[in-house]
Structure 1
Amino acid sequence: MTLKVGLIGCGRIAAKHVDSINKCNGIEIIGLSDINQNNIEKLKKQVHKNGYLRSFLNYKDLLRHDDVELIVITSSSNTHAEIAEAALKADKHVLVEKPLSLSLDDARKLNELSVKYNKHLLVSHQLRFLQVITMLKEMINKHSFGDIYYSAVTIELNRSEDYFKEAKWRGTWGLDGGMLLNQGIHLIDLMVWLMGDVDYVHGQIVKKNLIKETEDAAIGILSFRNGSKGIIQANTITQPNNLGISLKVFGEKGTVALRGDKLQIRDRWHVSNSQYNELTKLLGTEENEHVKMYEAIFKLMKEGKASTSLVTGETAIQSLETILAIYKSALDSKPIQLPLLSFETTDMESKY
């Protein structure tokens, strides 16, 4: 019982997906597509496959093969929606590298298509599979914190001028989508997943770097429908290099503070009279969350077992909408109530 995969977009992030698939039993890449033949040839060397590996310069040629069950989209952000739509209409399940799209309308359309064609639409938000995050989610679901007052995430990274010069699409509203959609979305996805539905968003952005269009820093204040608050602070101008990421939850009965590339450093893990205080000491620090995600995808598609950590198109819209609301709030200089009627990253071009 093998899940057969076609991968579209053979750039840098694709290598991470291939490495993770190679480590999963029962998943096999049988086709690659990229507009650059050199990218295809480079990635071919990394794919573990016995026999012929198909490759195509036009992704639509890959979609025509009936034995391809799952399409993994790791192309540039501006192409995600177009390719995902074509894949769903070609009767394929789809996994999209974040973000799902740069347009809220496109994201909603993709979700509707997945329902119409009865196909899975998934988005790669692999941090949800970290042990510490699944435990934190379980604690919140069991009301271990009592009332949660607020949560906070920080993304403090460095992206140099050379980084943006390497690829012309980087740092553009139309092709890249912005710092929050690229570097910030994983932590924002965790916050929204842990805390619940967002009611209001108040956002501001800082734009100083003249070599690109998109923001250098962003601040978001979220009001959740359950009364909790959220604070988002993100930038790609931390000097001289990355400080990293962090996630904190402050509640009536406890506080959790995590940091590190995989949130593996626990600066604080205290919940009054909770078994989780001891259980957290048993958690490992070496994890491959991408592998866990693909293992969950295999179980979903081949065994019918759904993981609550898998991000569907419907749930991915929540974090996408939150980020777009931060942008719209900065654009309009006022708080924004969700749901948004419509917004896309190119709307920012009128002011920034």
Structure 2
Amino acid sequence: MEAVFIVNFGIVGCGYIAGKHANALEQIANARLVAACDTDLKRRTSFEEQYGVSTYENYDDFLKNPDVEAVIICTPSGSHATLGEKAAHAGKHILLEKPFVLDINQGKNLVELCKSKRVKVGVVHPNRVKTVVRALNEAVSEGWFGKITHASAVLRWNRSSEYFNSAAWRGTLELDGGMLFNQAIHNIDLFNWLLGPVDEVFAYGATQLHKIEYEDVCVCTLKLKSGALGMIEAAITLYPENLEESLAVFGSQGTAVLGGKSLSKIKEWKFSKFSEADAKIQIDQLNNESDPMGHKVIIEDFIRAITCNQEPLVSGEEAMKVLYLLNAIYQSIKTNQPVKITTDWSENM
């Protein structure tokens, strides 16, 4: 009988997203939630009562718990690098909620530190395992589109003043990072994963409605290394509620558009290799198939990375690719110039 390795997890940051991880861990046979950490007494107490785990106010004390083998970091984005480095030094595997980190040098340092400490580092991008996204990945990978000519990633959402006022870190550059790091990161990750790498970007960003430190609207054009062109549009100014999150790919032999308020349905699915009737059957099947529980799939994959000594679905190095892209977009907004995507460790990626 094959041995089952149980991985003990601790969660730092007991806010809304931590609940998704805790609920996912309860459904995984070879995972156990053993501890949590938060500086806020009310959140800490509520989490302890709901999930029955020991909780800590002090992160260093939390990391000293010998039962904690892997840490899930669910704190504001700007704290990820520091908390991740401390976890790595403590010999803990690290699963970070999106985004990975906000700064390229911090990201590089964390990836290299995790290598030297022989711990795994992964990033939570559950949209990669959505049913329709997996289908689009197959279509791109198998060459159904022929020559891909252009593609787009669009996020048209609403974030209210109440949302930004709900926590002091929201809307700040230091801890929130920007709309592209927070709301649009999943769609940008999918665009880069499916169609990248990107060669050059030119972007405009503006703060149109919200009293925040960063953009609430951004439009970006992209040149891909494949020769295709691309467009990213992101906004959190939509009235009165979220309108759509979409991803579209166009080629000489195919057209595909995924949409809905949260990228959940196929809107267009036409390929020369399929008849119209066959394509309709595929659309109906995919649109009626339930999505897997994204956080559960991500954690199960991370457990395999630990127990089988393999890379997680979105490793630190994989997440760095999006970080370089976002850095170039923000640089273009700042300079009003096209910006090439450059890395100084591309050989390692």
Same fold (TM over 0.5): yes
Q: 1:247 maps to what in 2?
A: 247
Q: 2:9 maps to what in 1?
A: 5
Deviation at 1:121, TM superposition (A): 0.8
Q: Secondary structure at the match of 1:330?
A: helix
Q: 1:185 maps to what in 2?
A: 185
Superimposed CA distance per residue, residues 72-116 of structure 1 (whole angstroms, 9 cap, x where no aligned partner)? 000111110000011111111100011111111101111111221
Deviation at 1:261, TM superposition (A): 4.3
Q: 1:345 maps to what in 2?
A: none
Q: Give yes or no for contact 2:38–2:44 (8 Å, CA) kept in 1.
A: yes
Q: Give yes or no for contact 2:199–2:223 (8 Å, CA) kept in 1.
A: yes
Q: Give yes or no for contact 1:5–1:31 (8 Å, CA) kept in 2.
A: yes
Which whole-Å CA distance do the structure 2 matches of 1:25 and 1:265 have between them? 31
Q: Give yes or no for contact 1:3–1:26 (8 Å, CA) kept in 2.
A: yes
In the superposition, the TM-score normalised over structure 1's length comes to 0.90
Q: Give yes or no for contact 1:140–1:194 (8 Å, CA) kept in 2.
A: yes
The correspondence for 2:49, drawn from 45, 52, 60, is 45
Q: 1:31 maps to what in 2?
A: 35
Deviating more after overlay: 82-91 vs 109-118: 109-118
Q: 1:57 to 1:4 in 2, by over 3 A?
A: same
The correspondence for 1:325, drawn from 328, 333, 338, is 328
Deviating more after overlay: 260-269 vs 12-21: 260-269
Which whole-Å CA distance do the structure 2 matches of 1:44 and 1:270 have between them? 50
Q: 1:119 maps to what in 2?
A: 119
Which whole-Å CA distance do the structure 2 matches of 1:146 and 1:45 have between them? 55
Which whole-Å CA distance do the structure 2 matches of 1:261 and 1:2 have between them? 37
Superimposed CA distance per residue, residues 136-158 of structure 1 (whole angstroms, 9 cap, x where no aligned partner)? 21221221211111111111111
Q: Give yes or no for contact 1:132–1:280 (8 Å, CA) kept in 2.
A: no
Deviation at 1:117, TM superposition (A): 1.5
Percent identity reads 33
Q: 1:16 maps to what in 2?
A: 20
* AA at the equivalent of 1:53: V
Runs of 4+ in 1 over 6 A off after TM superposition: none
Q: 2:226 maps to what in 1?
A: 226
Q: Secondary structure at the match of 2:50?
A: coil
Which whole-Å CA distance do the structure 1 matches of 2:125 and 2:49 have between them? 26
Deviation at 1:202, TM superposition (A): 0.8
Superimposed CA distance per residue, residues 156-202 of structure 1 (whole angstroms, 9 cap, x where no aligned partner)? 11111121112121111112101111000000000000002111111
* AA at the equivalent of 2:292: E
* AA at the equivalent of 1:78: G
Which whole-Å CA distance do the structure 2 matches of 1:332 and 1:215 have between them? 15
Q: 1:3 to 1:98 in 2, by over 3 A?
A: same
Which whole-Å CA distance do the structure 2 matches of 1:90 and 1:65 have between them? 10
Q: 2:339 maps to what in 1?
A: 336
Q: Give yes or no for contact 2:88–2:114 (8 Å, CA) kept in 1.
A: yes
The correspondence for 1:289, drawn from 294, 300, 309, is 294
Q: How does 1:48-63 map to 2 (within 5 A)?
A: 53-63=53-63
Q: Secondary structure at the match of 1:316?
A: helix
Q: Secondary structure at the match of 2:326?
A: helix
Q: Give yes or no for contact 2:126–2:298 (8 Å, CA) kept in 1.
A: yes
Q: How does 1:57-206 map to 2 (within 5 A)?
A: 57-206=57-206
Q: Secondary structure at the match of 1:233?
A: strand
Which whole-Å CA distance do the structure 2 matches of 1:8 and 1:168 have between them? 18
Q: Give yes or no for contact 1:18–1:46 (8 Å, CA) kept in 2.
A: no
* AA at the equivalent of 2:304: K
Gaps of 5+ in 2: 345-349
Which whole-Å CA distance do the structure 2 matches of 1:46 and 1:287 have between them? 24
Q: 1:134 to 1:276 in 2, by over 3 A?
A: farther
Deviation at 1:306, TM superposition (A): 5.5
* AA at the equivalent of 1:45: E
Which whole-Å CA distance do the structure 1 matches of 2:115 and 2:291 have between them? 36
**How many positions carry a matched residue from both structures?**
336
Which whole-Å CA distance do the structure 2 matches of 1:206 and 1:340 have between them? 26
Deviation at 1:58, TM superposition (A): 1.0
Q: 1:210 to 1:286 in 2, by over 3 A?
A: closer
Which whole-Å CA distance do the structure 2 matches of 1:108 and 1:29 have between them? 29
* AA at the equivalent of 1:175: L
Superimposed CA distance per residue, residues 224-282 of structure 1 (whole angstroms, 9 cap, x where no aligned partner)? 11111221000010011110211111111101111124522211111111487755543
Q: 1:315 maps to what in 2?
A: 318
Gaps of 5+ in 1: 342-352
Which whole-Å CA distance do the structure 2 matches of 1:33 and 1:180 have between them? 27
Q: Secondary structure at the match of 1:46?
A: helix
Deviation at 1:320, TM superposition (A): 1.8
Which whole-Å CA distance do the structure 2 matches of 1:207 and 1:55 have between them? 39
Which whole-Å CA distance do the structure 1 matches of 2:199 and 2:279 have between them? 30
Q: 2:347 maps to what in 1?
A: none
